[in-house]
Amino acid sequence: MPRLSDSMEEGTILTWLKQVGDEVAVGDELVEIETDKANMAYEADVAGTLTEILAQEGETLPIGSPIATIGESNGQPADSGEGPSAEPAGPVSDTAPAPTGAGPASSPPTAEAEEQDSEVQAPEAEHQPQADGERVKASPLARRLARDKGLDLQDLHGSGPGGRIVKHDVEEAEVPSSAAPTPSIQPEGVGAAPSTGGTAKGDVQTQDLNKLQQTIARRMAESKATAPHFYLTIEIDMGKAVEARAGFKAAAKEGEVVPSFNDMVVKACAIALREFPKANGGYRDGRFELYSRINVGVAVAAEEALVVPTVFDADRKGLRQIAADTRAVAAKVRDGSVTPPELSGGTFTVSNLGMFGIDEFDAVINMGQAAILAVGAIREVPAVRDGEVVPAQLMKATLSCDHRILYGAEGAEFLARVRQLLEEPVSLAL
């Protein structure tokens, strides 16, 4: 069982993408594994013939446990560059992503909410082998729905990125009269049958957590239990930011990415983090850790989970580059091609629920970071300016701070600087 994330202790075999007797080349996708972060395809690091599968689909094993054996290929020893002629697949490098739990997450906006936040819902990608050796690209949810409806994915047309079959494609497909839906056998046990016997609450259903959900639950509980949270809320006049974004849209060429308000918040935070190093640090084992790079994580709601892709060196990038990076990694999360390094290394997190009309909320700090910024909706409200009541575009933002490293005055100064940058967005270079 390979290590596919830094916090991974065990993995669950979801789908074998090769079968016993198949030839395997270095880099071939061998098996899909559910980790504490996401479902990931493990690529073979040796070449040869898959001679034995030791871990069956649905089986959960600790890191380092043998899951398969790759042996001789066409009478020749398996070529991995070194080592014996037959060896179990895994484990891989310990390089892996940082924790994904980061409080409430952004979720996919409607077209009307695009200007408030650009994040997208991100189902994980999944491959299913075809008889001819090619693979049908489909999301895990689409695969489960197809199985329940008795549909063959090879008969469906995918409307997702790269022809990937998504939930909508399965829902729109007609069920063959001869097809009998089969029950889902997903390893995480989602949708368990109601327990016998009623209670005052009615029939009770239980649902097991998958690896990612277990990690989120554990990390969030640890964060609240060990990090003394305190919260600072500020009101930001986004009037000039609204005008600036309208200008970006008007000046954008066809196909050119337009920064969202969330991209502006990420950039403002990055500049402020450079000026307030402790906000870009963390408390660990009785010491302050101050990070030289400013990597802002953007909390995104994935399918029944939470993912925090990272915008690396955000302080050195212009708004358009931040917007492009954010959309690129969101697309990778959507099609399942996101890599562990792209989920790692965050030093600060931004979580935005404004697209849901949430005015303000308190987010839970991501373990290992000093703070997280929770961003609310932009509201047009009456405000007093120079003794007159005028319309204003106001937004509330709440900074959750770990009092062990970031104290009240420091957190307030950092948040005030973020407000200053957003109220004068000319300082946010494109």
Residue 31 contacts residue 13 (beta carbons within 8 Å): yes
Cis peptide before 91 (omega within 30 of 0): yes
User: Is 157 among the residues known to form the active site?
Assistant: no
Residue 32 contacts residue 40 (beta carbons within 8 Å): yes
> What Å distances lie between residue 313 and 238, 316, 318, 325, CA to CA?
25, 6, 10, 11
Q: Output the DSSP codes for 148-188.
A: HHT--GGGSPP-SGGG-B-HHHHHHSPPPTT--------TT
- Lookup result for tokens 């004068």: 424
Stretch (H or E) spanning 259: none
**Residues in contact with 116: Cβ distance below 8 Å, sequence separation at least 6, in sequence order:** 109, 260, 261, 262, 352, 354, 355, 377, 378
- Lookup result for tokens 């935070």: 269
The candidate with the shortest Cα–Cα distance to 17, out of 102, 99, 134, 120, is 134
**Residues in contact with 220: Cβ distance below 8 Å, sequence separation at least 6, in sequence order:** 101, 103, 364
Q: Long-range contacts made by residues 185-194, C-beta under 8 angstroms, separation at least 24?
A: 185/58, 186/144, 187/12, 187/13, 187/14, 187/34, 187/57, 187/58, 187/60, 188/12, 188/34, 190/304
- Lookup result for tokens 């047009």: 380
d(CA 77, CA 36) in angstroms, rounded, equals: 35
d(CA 233, CA 56) in angstroms, rounded, equals: 50
What are the residue numbers of the active site?
A: 403
